[in-house]
A and B are shown apart, each in its own frame.
Chain A
Amino acid sequence: MNTLILGIGNLILTDDGVGIKIAQWLKEENPKLEVLETSEAGINFLDLVIGYDKLIIIDSIKTKQGKPGELYKLELEDLKPTMDFLPSHGIDIATAFEVGRKLGFKMPKYISIYAIEIKSNLTFGEECTEEVRERIPFIAGQIMEEEKL
Chain B
Amino acid sequence: MKKITIDPITRLEGHGKIEIFLNDEGNCERACLQIPELRGFEKFSEGRPAEEMPRITTMICGVCPTAHHMASTKALDDLWQVEPTPTAKKIREIMYNAFQAEDHILHFFFLGGPDFVVGPQAPAPERNILGVIAKAGMETGGKVIEMRKRLRNVLRIIGGKPVMPTCGLPGGVSKAISEEERKTIIEAGEYAVDFCKVALGLFDDIVLKNKDYVDLITGDIYKHRTYYMGLVDENNKVNFYDGLIRVVDPNGKEFAKFKIQQYLDHIREHVEPWTYVRFSYLKNVGWKGFVDGEESGVFRVAPLARLNVSDGMATPLAQEAYEKMYEVLGGKPVHSTLAFHWARLVEALYASERVLELARDPELTSPDIVNLPTATPKEGIGVVEAPRGTLIHHYQTDERGILTKVNLIVATQNNSAAINMSVEKAAKSLIKNGEVSDGILNMIEMAFRAYDPCHACATHSLPGRMPLEVNVYDSKGNSVRTLKRNE
Q: Interface on A for B, CB 8 Å cutoff?
A: 8-13, 16, 36-48, 50, 59-64, 70-75, 78-79, 81, 84-93, 95, 99-100, 102-105, 115, 118, 121-125, 142, 146
Residue contact B463 to A88, C-beta cutoff 8 Å:
no
Q: Does A91 lie within 8 Å of B461, measured CB to CB?
A: no
Q: Is the CB of A39 within 8 A of B65?
A: yes
In the bound complex, residues from chain A placing their C-beta under 8 Å from that of B152 are 47-48
**A91-B128 CB under 8 A given contacts A10-B459, A39-B460, A63-B7:** yes
A41 vs B468: C-alpha distance in the bound complex, in angstroms? 16
Q: Pick from A39, A50, A90: contact of B59, CB below 8 A.
A: A39
Chain A min CB distance to B156 (Å) = 9
**Residue positions of B touching A, CB distance < 8 A:** 1-9, 11, 13-14, 38, 40-41, 43-44, 56, 59-60, 62-63, 65, 106, 110-111, 114, 124-125, 127-130, 133, 138, 141-142, 145-146, 148-149, 152, 161-164, 442, 445, 449, 458-465, 468, 484-487
Q: Is the CB of B44 within 8 A of A125?
A: yes
In the complex the two chains form, is B145's CB within 8 Å of A79's CB?
no
A126 CB to closest chain B CB, in angstroms?
A: 9
Kindly count the residue-residue contacts between A and B in the assembled complex, taking CB atoms under 8 Å apart.
185
User: B65: which A residues are within 8 A, CB to CB?
Assistant: 39
Dominant secondary structure of chain A at its interface with chain B: mixed
Apart from A11-B59, A73-B1, A121-B459, list 7 A-B contacts with CB within 8 A.
Answer: A48-B162, A61-B6, A61-B8, A62-B461, A64-B7, A99-B141, A105-B142
Contacts A/B (CB < 8 Å), 9 sampled: A9-B461, A12-B59, A36-B161, A37-B163, A38-B162, A47-B146, A73-B3, A91-B130, A123-B40
Verify B4–A78 contact, CB threshold 8 A: yes
A133–B459 alpha-carbon span in the complex (Å) = 18
Measured between alpha carbons, how far is A16 from B130 in the docked complex, in Å? 30
Q: A37-B164, A74-B4 are known contacts. Are A89 and B128 too (CB-CB below 8 A)?
A: yes
Out of B8, B114, B142, name the residue touching A62 (CB < 8 Å): B8
List the B residue with the shortest CB-CB distance to A121. B459
Q: Are A39 and B164 in contact (CB under 8 A)?
A: yes
Chain A nearest CB from B136 CB (Å) reads: 12
For B163, what are the chain A residues with a Cβ–Cβ distance below 8 Å? 36-40, 45, 48
